[in-house]
Amino acid sequence: MLKYQEIAHELEKYIEDHKLQQGDKLPVLESLMAQFNVSKSTITKALDLLERKGVVFQVRGSGIFVRRHKRKGYISLLSNQGFQKEIEGFNLTSKVIELDVRKPTQEVAENLNIGPDADIYYVKRVRYIHGQALAFEESFYNKSIVTYLNKEIVSESIFNYISEGLGLKVGFSDMYLHVDKLNEEEAEYLGLKKGDPKLYLESVYHLTNGQPFDFSKLTYNYEQSQFFFQSNSHFF
C-alpha cells in the first residue's frame, strides 16, 4: 500500500471512529499534514482518493466535508473488489454447484477477449446472506490468467484468492444491469417462484493492465438485495 493510500485509510477510520456525519468539516490541509506528518501532495492525493470513493467532498475555497449516507443494509455496487468485499459486514456464505474447465461459448469468449480454444474455469454457485439465498452466480475465468481454482477456493472469496493467492492486480470493471423475470432454474436456487422479479448483473473484471479475467452473471433475489452507489461531480 502506498503512503497516500495508508493516509486515506487512516482518514476513513478517523471519520468512522469519530462518527462524523454528512456535511461535517474535516480539519484544514495544514492540520492534516501536521497530524499525519506527511507532505501536502500526499494529503491531497489521499483526499482525492477519498473523494473518488465517495467518502468526502471538496468545496473549492471552503474545505473538505464528510460524505455519508444514512441508510443501512444496502450493498455497494461499485467497490470493485468482487462480490465479497461489496457486502463486507454482511454474513456471506456460498454453495458450489459446479466447477470445471471448459471451452468458452461465443458470448464468454467475446467478453473475456479470448479465442474459442482457450480454456476457462466455469463456476456455478449460490451465494447466501445471513443464510438466505442472495444470488445465483455463473462465472467464467480466463484460465491463462486465473491458472488454478478448486472447490475449496471457490466456496470462499475467489477475489481474495486471486489478489492474495495468485498475486494478480484487479483493476476496473464494466457492469451491465437489467431487470427481468426469473426462469425455473433461477427461481429454484433462490427459493422464489418462476416469473418473480430478478435483478440481473453481468460484469467484466479486468486486471490493472486492461486484460479481462472474469466474466460473471449474477441473478439477485429481489427480496434480499438492495444496492447503493454514489456518483461524483467530476464529469463535464
Instruction: Please list the residues that pair with 217 across neighbouring strands.
Output: 138, 202
Please give the single-letter amino acid code of residue 86: E
Instruction: Please list the residues that pair with 76 across neighbouring strands.
Output: 228
Instruction: Please list the residues that pair with 101 across neighbouring strands.
Output: 121
Piece of 33-41, 130-138, 140-148, 220-228 that binds its own copies (CB under 8 A): 220-228
Q: Dihedral through CA 221, CA 223, CA 224, CA 229, nearest 10?
A: 90
Classify residue 235 as left (phi > 0), alpha (psi -120 to 50) or beta. Answer: beta
Q: Beta-carbon neighbour count of residue 235 at 10 Å?
A: 5
Contacting residue, 34, 74, 148, 185, with its own copies by CB under 8 A = 74
Nearer to its own copies, 69 or 95 (CB): 69
232 binds its own copies (CB under 8 A): yes
194 binds its own copies (CB under 8 A): no
**Residue 222 beta carbon to its own copies: minimum distance, rounded to whole angstroms:** 4
Which of 56, 48, 32, 45 has the alpha carbon at shortest distance from 3? 45
Subset of residues 111 to 150 that bind its own copies, contact rule: CB under 8 A: none
Contacting residue, 79, 84, 160, 163, with its own copies by CB under 8 A = 79
Contact footprint for its own copies (CB under 8 A): 1, 5, 8-9, 22-23, 49, 52-54, 57, 59-60, 62, 65, 67, 69-71, 74, 77-81, 110, 169-181, 196-199, 204, 206, 208-210, 220, 222, 225-236
